Amino acid sequence: MPDRNENQRHLAIIGSTGSIGRQALEVVAADPERFRVVALSADKNVDLIEEQCRRFHPELVAVRDPAAADELRRRLEGERLPVYSGRGGLMAAATAGEADLVVMAVVGSAGLPLTLSAIAAGKDVALANKETLVAGGELVTRAARERGVRLIPVDSEHSALLQCLAGSRTVEVKRLVLTASGGPFRGYTRERLAGVTPEMALNHPTWAMGPKISVDSATLMNKGLEVIEAHWLFGVGYDRIDVVVHPQSLVHSLVEFVDGTYLAQMGPPDMRRPIQYALTYPHRRPAAWPGLDLAKAATMTFEPVDTRTFASLRLAYEAGRMGGTATAVLSAADEVAVGLFLERRLGFLDIERVVEEVLMRHIPQPAPTLAGIMSADEWARAEARKAAAGRR
């Protein structure tokens, strides 16, 4: 094992083959003095994780899919790199002894138990996985507080809020304002939305992202999930979190203070910058990618969000206010509905209908444990499949 360099941050990247994971490794590659990768993990993309292992030399690697893990072991024979598999393998990567910061970049509900394990192991967490705070915000923020570890947001909106809030007290904050690009269907009517295909939904105007979050951006559920995350990350009530449409995606969010002052955080729509900030937090490092050229940024516009056409955002606020397991149910039902839409087994507008149907049937359990959240999640998935079947 190489000697530990105290100036280096030791990273475990969970979901290293995804959009966020790959960009986190770009940040690492651009500043090798500052970072060392101690663990990598994927679901089943053997080709890419093999390449990443050969380039970044982690101390362990985990691939959830057992057959894919076997294949990776075969390919890495002679490398003396332990390859773990299954959920236990992912846990090993999320709690890797040498890591001091875990980048949680898996997609979906797999993120919650992994984040809780990383916290329990005393790791700071750079949190990209949305579902963690949406499903388990109360549990996760309490665990982080009790264990004395940091939850550092990776998402551009929450990174912006973190930066704008630096040095201020909660009582000085009037409201948080999250910006939304409006997605590829800004200005569409309900009639036009009814005919949207997966290809159209995956074609985001300003951000290149994984498929689930791209569809969530098109329905505005993504913004709803971010409102819930902001509530837990910054301890601000739903009545003081607003969304404004900003199609150019240059202002990543704003804070309005009680004296009427706004602070906004700006930059080009490039996730490597908020990822880098999370990886170096609370410090800043020079970045290897181009910044914002204000003279070329042209006009910046802001407009109200249309929750009558895009009902998913309204549903997310409702779930947030219901509290307890309601947000886990919202997230799980959405995951199922988005999956079915991508498989062309559900229409675009059916996504919100399925989520609403499941949410309205749910009786939230307050202050749930992990087991309570997991069982609400399972219930919501089964109900969402039933609701979707009724629409085909």
Ligand X SMILES: NC(=O)c1ccc[n+]([C@@H]2O[C@H](COP(=O)([O-])OP(=O)(O)OC[C@H]3O[C@@H](n4cnc5c(N)ncnc54)[C@H](OP(=O)(O)O)[C@@H]3O)[C@@H](O)[C@H]2O)c1
Work out whether 90 is an interface residue with ligand X (CB under 6 A): yes
Residue owning tokens 């009814």: 194
Work out whether 17 is an interface residue with ligand X (CB under 6 A): yes
Burial readout 143-156 (b: 16 or more C-beta within 10 A, e: otherwise)? bbeeeebebbbbbb
Token digits for 275? 């990822």
Query: In the complex with ligand X, which residue's Cβ is closer, 90 or 250?
Result: 90
3-state secondary structure of 355: helix
Residue 46 C-beta: closest distance to ligand X, Å = 8
60, 128, 228, 313: which one binds ligand X (CB under 6 A): 128
Q: Which range in 106-114, 196-204, 235-243, 373-381 contacts ligand X by CB under 6 A?
A: 106-114
DSSP run (H or E) holding 264: strand 262-266
Residue 273 C-beta: closest distance to ligand X, Å = 12
Query: In the complex with ligand X, which residue's Cβ is closer, 256 or 339?
Result: 339
24, 103, 110, 336: which one binds ligand X (CB under 6 A): 110
Site size toward ligand X, by CB under 6 A? 28
HSE-CB for 5 with a 13 A CA cutoff: 13
Distance CA 41, CA 45 (A): 10
Residue 190 C-beta: closest distance to ligand X, Å = 25
Query: In the complex with ligand X, which residue's Cβ is closer, 45 or 253?
Result: 45
37, 93, 101, 107: which one binds ligand X (CB under 6 A): 107
Query: In the complex with ligand X, which residue's Cβ is closer, 11 or 105?
Result: 105
Instruction: Calculate the alpha carbon distances from 315 to 2, 140, 358 in Å.
Output: 50, 22, 11
Work out whether 328 is an interface residue with ligand X (CB under 6 A): no
Work out whether 64 is an interface residue with ligand X (CB under 6 A): yes
10, 11, 12, 20: which one binds ligand X (CB under 6 A): 20
42, 53, 92, 140: which one binds ligand X (CB under 6 A): 42
Work out whether 96 is an interface residue with ligand X (CB under 6 A): no
- Give me the phi and psi of 177, to 5 degrees please: -125, 110
Work out whether 253 is an interface residue with ligand X (CB under 6 A): no
106, 135, 346, 373: which one binds ligand X (CB under 6 A): 106
11, 12, 15, 374: which one binds ligand X (CB under 6 A): 15
Distance CA 62, CA 72 (A): 10
Which of 91, 124, 117 has its CA nearest to residue 370?
Answer: 117
Using CB under 6 A, which residues numbered 137 to 176 contact ligand X? 155
Site string for ligand X, 260-279 (x = CB under 6 A): -----------x--------
Query: In the complex with ligand X, which residue's Cβ is closer, 42 or 256?
Result: 42
Pairing of strands 35-42, 9-14: parallel
Angle, vertex CA 33, rays to CA 27 and CA 37, nearest 5: 60
Distance CA 321, CA 132 (A): 18
Q: Which range in 17-25, 180-188, 247-255, 290-298 contacts ligand X by CB under 6 A?
A: 17-25
- Report H helices in the chain: 19-30, 46-56, 66-75, 86-94, 111-120, 130-147, 156-165, 190-193, 198-201, 211-219, 221-234, 272-280, 311-322, 326-342, 348-361, 370-389
Using CB under 6 A, which residues numbered 212 to 231 contact ligand X? 213
Work out whether 18 is an interface residue with ligand X (CB under 6 A): yes
Query: In the complex with ligand X, which residue's Cβ is closer, 160 or 346?
Result: 160
- Gyration radius from the chain CA atoms: 20
Distance CA 250, CA 369 (A): 38
Contacts to ligand X by CB under 6 A: 15-21, 42-45, 64, 90, 105-108, 110, 128-131, 155, 207, 209-210, 213, 271
